[in-house]
Amino acid sequence: MQRKESSMTLTKKQAEQIRQVLLETQSRILSNAEDGLNLSMNRDLETPGDSIDETSDEELLSTELRLRDREKKLLGKVRYALERLDEGIINECEDCGEPIGFNRLLVRPVTTLCVRCKEEREARERVMATSASPGPGVTAVQDDDSLDS
C-alpha cells in the first residue's frame, strides 16, 4: 500500500499531544494496578467474617480481577501505540493503510483502524453475533475489541 505522506504525517505538536495522552493512560493503569495489589494484600490481613461477607468479598475480588485483566490488555495496546508513534505510523490504518484522523487518535490513541474500517468490522461482528445468538434470555459476552478502536 502506498502511503499518502501529506495526509499521513502528524505535526510534532500533534504527536506530542498523542504521546502525552498515552503516557497519562499508562501511568493511570500502572497506578490502578499498584492500588489493586495493595488491596489484595490487605484483604489477606482482614479478619474473616460470616459467609455473606465472604461471598461479597469473593464477588468484589472477581470483579476486580476482571477489571485488572482488561487494564492489562489496554496497557499492552498503549505500549503498542507508543511503538507505532515512535515509528511514525500511529495514524495509519492497519487494515487499509489510509490515514486515521488526528482527532480520532487524540480521543482514542490506541486505535489502529480508521473510522470506515472500524465501522465495517463492527457491522461484520453484529452479523456474526446475530447468527450465533445463544437464544432468548441469554446474553452474549462482548469481546475486548472495544478497547482498541
pLDDT of residue 143: 47
Chunked in runs of 10, what are the mean pLDDT values of the chain (149 residues)?
55 96 95 73 60 76 82 95 97 96 96 96 94 63 51
DSSP code per residue over the chain: ----HHHHPPPHHHHHHHHHHHHHHHHHHHHHHHHHHHHHHHHHHSPP--HHHHHHHHHHHHHHHHHHHHHHHHHHHHHHHHHHHHHT-TTB-TTT-PBPPHHHHHH-TT--S-HHHHHHHHHHHHHHHHHT---TT-PPPPPGGGGT-
Q: What is the CATH number of the domain that holds 109?
A: 1.20.120.910
Question: Which residues span the domain enclosing 102?
Answer: 10-131
Domain membership of residue 142 (yes or no) is no
Q: How many domains does the chain have?
A: 1
pLDDT of residue 4: 42
pLDDT of residue 17: 97
Domain membership of residue 15 (yes or no) is yes
- pTM of this structure: 0.70
pLDDT of residue 5: 39
